[in-house]
Every structure is written in structure tokens, then in C-alpha cells.
Structure 1
Amino acid sequence: MTARFRMSGLDALSYYLGIEVRQGKDELTLGQSAYASKLLERSGMAECKPCVTLMEERLKLTKASTAAKVNATFYWSIVGGLSYLVHTRSNIAFAVGYVSRFMGDPREDH
């Protein structure tokens, strides 16, 4: 490619669009730990303890809730951030998809 295009700084890729890239001799590892930490801070959950279960089992959410409304822009921002995190954390895809169903009218869960 260098014969056809003018290029500079072609060191090994280490970070791209919020995705950390670690290159070993025989492997390539992608991660988003820094992005996930920033998302936790923004959502006010940085001090929460991690858990094994991503979502309460048999959780039933409904759009016909009587709970108080939350800031829709903030909710969309957090769910959008979680959607981007799914690129390297496919295990959260179901939970993110479930909460994204409420993007039209998010309600606060009490």
C-alpha cells in the first residue's frame, strides 16, 4: 500500500473508535474496558458492584408503566453506549436489546 499511497505512522494499531486492540504473536484481542468505565461513570453506576447475572430472571417490563418518566435523552445516550459496547461484549446483547425496546418512552423503574 505504501507504494500506491502516501502513508505515515503505521505502527501497530492499539486503539480505534473506543476499541482497545492488543496484538500478540498469534492473537488479536479487542476490548472496551475504558469505554465501559466511562459509560458507568456517565450513568452514575461507577461504584456499583459487578454481578454474574446481567438481568433479573423473568423480568417483565411494560411500556404501560405508571412510574415517573426519566430524561429520555439521557436514557437514549446510555442505551446507545451499551449498544456500542455489544461489539466486544456479545454476552450483554439480549439485555441491551430488551431495554432498547423502551427507547420511545423510557420510564423510571422504582
Structure 2
Amino acid sequence: MSDLGALSYYLGIEVRQEKEALTLSQSAYASKLLERSGMAECKPRVTVMEERLNLTKASTAAKVDATLYRSIVGSLRYLVHTRSNSVFAVGYVIRFMEDPREDH
């Protein structure tokens, strides 16, 4: 067994070890996810999800690429490991995994 030194990156999670704290981050992973989903140019918001957003499965909007949608939602599920404030919003969009539409 050999000592590889301090952990700095593991499974897409950046690890910063300081004397008094251990910080986990997925900023690079989140940036790649934004690029892949076509949202890299979007402006950051304080809230993760619009308040009182009412989505429904009964929609007349055009279908989106279900494989891409599921891939992005899966990536979001992994992202909540370090961004717990996103858990509710990710759980909300998971409801539409069966039949994703452009606009709900």
C-alpha cells in the first residue's frame, strides 16, 4: 500500500482539506452539466426553483429527448451530494422522467 497524499478530487467531487475544515465542491461537475444541458450562459439565481411553480404531466408541449432528459436529471441527482439546497427541485423534476415535455 502506498500513500498518495491528501485527497483532492474523487468521483467528480473536489475536496479541500484545511486545518479546521473539510470542503466538498462539485463546481467543475456543475459547469459541465450546464454546458451539456445548453444552460451555460444562464444567469445564476439565489433560489434553486421558482416559488410556487406548478408543473403538471398533462401538457400539450412537444416532447423532448427523453434520454438526454434522464441523463441530465441523473446528473442533478449526483450533484445534490454537495448542494443539498437543490434536493427538492431535483425531486420535483424527477416526477417527469416517464414522459418529459419541453414545457410543463
TM-score, with normalisation over the residues of structure 2?
0.96
The one-letter code matched in structure 2 to 1:76 is R
* 1:56 Cα offset (Å): 1.4
Measure the CA separation in 2 of the matches of 1:34 and 1:54: 18
The one-letter code matched in structure 1 to 2:10 is Y
Q: Which position in structure 2 is the counterpart of 1:94?
A: 88
- After superposition, the CA RMSD in angstroms is 1.1
Which structure would you say has the larger Rg? 1
Report the 3-state secondary structure (helix = DSSP H, G, I; strand = E; otherwise coil) of the residue aligned with 2:71: helix
Measure the CA separation in 2 of the matches of 1:87 and 1:100: 16
Runs of 4+ in 1 over 3 A off after TM superposition: none
* 1:109 Cα offset (Å): 1.0
- Aligned mate of 2:35, from 41, 64, 68: 41
Task: Give the total of aligned pairs.
Answer: 104
Q: Which position in structure 2 is the counterpart of 1:67?
A: 61
Report the 3-state secondary structure (helix = DSSP H, G, I; strand = E; otherwise coil) of the residue aligned with 2:23: strand
TM-score, with normalisation over the residues of structure 1?
0.91
Q: Does 1:108 align with 2:86?
A: no
Among the aligned pairs, what percent are the same residue? 83
Report the 3-state secondary structure (helix = DSSP H, G, I; strand = E; otherwise coil) of the residue aligned with 2:49: coil
